[in-house]
Each structure stands twice: as structure tokens, then as C-alpha cells.
Homo-oligomer: A and B are copies of this chain.
Amino acid sequence: MALIVHKYGGTSMGSTERIRNVAKRVAKWSRAGYQMVVVPSAMSGETNRLLGLAKELSADGSSPELQRELDMIASTGEQVSVGLLAIALQAEGVEAVSYAGWQVAVTTDSSFTKARIESIDDVRVRADLAAGRVVVIAGFQGVDAQGNITTLGRGGSDTSAVAIAAAMKADECMIYTDVDGVYTTDPRIVPEARRLNTISFEEMLEMASLGSKVLQTRSVEFAGKYRVPLRVLSSFTPWDIAIELEAKSGTLISFEEDEKMEQAVVSGIAFNRDEAKVTLLGVPDKPGIAFQILGPVADANIDIDVIIQNVARDGKTDFSFTVHRNDYVRTMALLETTVGPAIQAALVLGDPRICKVSIVGIGMRSHVGVASKMFRALSEEGINIQMISTSEIKTSVVLDEKYMELAVRALHKAFDLEQA
């Protein structure tokens, strides 16, 4: 019997009426003979409400003790969701049982507010499935080895769903969300953006990590690592559409590359303005300097994205990187007070008002001239490029944030993405 994992986002769980719809959809799959595991997010707005209360009470700081309590609080949003969904399923006549992360157990490390899943015990869940129950598991959360509640960070419910699908060796993990699939770019910026029926795992990984909000990056990484077939689809289609139709809707994140090779060179345009740029000018050009700069940043639990080191001149080089905008102030303080003086940098500069725009496509591997086409399109719009970063399947540029929409529209057009 096929085992399917459904994941429902906060919007899909946003009211009791919507939860009832989720229950009807899941019940339909269950009655059709599928073994069902469901991973819902907290009701939309709930996590913000809870963390808002916490913020009113907390002094400044980000001690592990504070972060532990934030996880204690935030994790309740999903716990409420699983209970409500289980009740709604029972009301549909389907046997259902809910579990918090610690009950499964979903074991994580102890990095409160951004924990990573280490293992998932499938014994309890398998026993329920074998007994004919739908199992509803709280996303976004886990438990560390000391029995503390942890959360996986924003969007972590996607990761939970995929990790659970991997642990259970599910036949497919279906991510129900408020969009009906993965688009060539955000339709709010480019109305001509087109939904992709399939996208390769690697492209999806780039799209997600580059700012496409459809799926959380780590969930895609998990799906790739464990080869979990992943589908993104809309929770706003009527719950009672035929399963055969529903099973083919949305966008499938595929592991089969062959068919993709014939498709367009560039699959999509990703972008975000979540990052900030910092630069150390006049850094001595000697072995180990990158580690001396980035080691302390990593130790402070600050994620780094684009890294650029220019060619040295007169024994000095310039070193730039981007961090999440939320980490900008912390990063600047770290560089100005500690790292900069330690490596005798001439100057520390920062700019939080940037954006990153990227073209993504497996086809780029075998096509020359894709990057230059990108640069020409931006140049024709008079957009200055601040940083460039490339990989086999994407080319990213960092721009002044005011150009973001303009750049995305220009690139979408330049690569003919409105045409299938």
C-alpha cells in the first residue's frame, strides 16, 4: 500500500474551516487506500503571536537559555494544529492520532531556534499506520538528547515533512501550500511567469536557496539526499477533486534529468532581498585569511551566502560576503570589533540595501554564453552589478535592492521564460 506524506502550511491551517477542508482531503486519500502521514504547520499568524509575547518579556540578548524558552513557546503552535487536525479527521470518520515531535521522536541537535534533525524513530508511526490510523505529526519541532524541545527555524515544517517521508520511505511527499506549484519566477513581479510541471532537484535547490519561497532549502536538501519524490501543489483546489488529477497537479521535483535536458536552458529566475553585504578592504593576502575572517562568523552561528575575494594587489586584497539581513548588525559588530583589527583590515564596509537575483537551469551546464546574456540584459537596463557568483546551474548577481523587480522582469524576458 502506497505511503504518502502530506504537508500543509499555515495558510492551509488558518481557520477551523480550512482545517476541516484539510481533513476532508486527507480522509479522501485515506479512504482510497493510501497510508497517510500528515505534517501541518501552526495556524497562520500563531507563531508570530507567540514569539511576539516572548519578545515583550525578554531582555535583549540571544542566550541559549532564552532560545530554549522561545522553542518551548513556539512549538505549541504546531502542537495545537496536530490536535485540531486529528479531531477533524476523527469527525470525518477516519481514525487519527497526533504526535508532538518528541513523541515520535524526531531527534535534533541542541541548536535552539534552528535545530537540525538527526534521526527519526519510525516505530510508533508504523504501528499506527499498520493499525489503519492516519498519523498527524507536528512539523517544525523536535527534541534534543537532553529532552529539550527544539524548533527547526522558520519554514521548518517542510523539512519535517520531507525528513519524515525519508524516514518512512514514503512514496511521495506532497507539500500543499498557497501557490499551485513552482513558477519560472514570482508571478507577482512577472505576470507572465509560468508554472513548471517538473523541475530537477538541483534546480529546485537553487530556486529555494536563492529566495523562491515555495519550499524551504533544507527540505529540498533532505529530499535530494534521501531521494524523496516531492510535489508542490495548492491546498486551495477543491478537496474532492479526483485523486488521479490531484496526484499529477502542481510541480514535481524530479530526480530524472534526461527529460530536462531538452527543455529550456534557464528554468527560472530567483531573487531575494533578505541579504546584506559586508566588505573588508585592504586585507593582507596570505594563506588562511578566509578562515580567519569567516571562522569567527560561523562560530557566531551566522550563515554566509555569497563570498567574493578579489585578486590581490600590492599584497592586499578585498574580501566581501553576504549574510542574512537579520544578522547584519551582529556581523558588522563582529568585524569592526574583533575580526577586522585581528587581521589588520584597512576598512570594514557594509550595505544592507542589496538584493540577489539569479538565473537557474540545468541546461546552463552545456550552454556557453548564458551568463553573458544575463549581464547584457542587465546592462541594457542600466543596472550596475555589485557581485557575481556562479555555479554549474546558476548565476547570481548582487544588485542595489531598488533594481530587483526591474532585473527579474528583464531576465525573465531575455530568457523567454513565458514560453513553455
Question: Which A residues form the contact surface with B (CB < 8 A)?
Answer: 16, 19-20, 23, 50, 53-54, 56-59, 63, 65-66, 68-70, 72-73, 75-76, 79-80, 82-84, 86-88, 90-91, 95-98, 100, 102-103, 147-149
Contact = CB atoms under 8 A, between A and B. Distances in A.
B73 A80 contact: yes
Given A69-B83, A103-B148, 4 more contacts: A23-B57, A69-B90, A73-B83, A103-B147
Q: Which secondary structure dominates chain A's binding surface?
A: helix
A69 B95 CA distance: 12
Copies in the complex: 2
A110 to B, nearest CB: 14
Contacts of A88: 57-58
Nearest 3 A-B pairs (CB), nearest first? A76-B76, A73-B83, A72-B83
A258 B84 CA distance: 53
Contact of A90 (B23, B63, B102): B63
Nearest to A74: B83
Contacts of A19: 57
Contact of A91 (B59, B72, B91): B59
B90 A65 contact: yes
A69 B86 contact: yes
A360 to B, nearest CB: 39
B103 A57 contact: no
Nearest to A91: B59
Contacts of A70: 83, 87
28 contacts: A16-B53, A20-B57, A54-B84, A54-B87, A57-B84, A58-B88, A58-B91, A59-B90, A65-B86, A65-B90, A65-B97, A66-B87, A66-B90, A68-B97, A69-B83, A69-B87, A69-B90, A70-B83, A70-B87, A72-B79, A72-B86, A72-B100, A73-B84, A73-B87, A75-B79, A76-B80, A103-B147, A103-B148
B16 A57 contact: yes
Contacts of A58: 87-88, 90-91
B72 A82 contact: yes
Contact of A16 (B56, B95, B102): B56
Contacts of A87: 54, 57-58, 66, 69-70, 73
Given A59-B90, A66-B87, A87-B66, A80 B98 contact: no
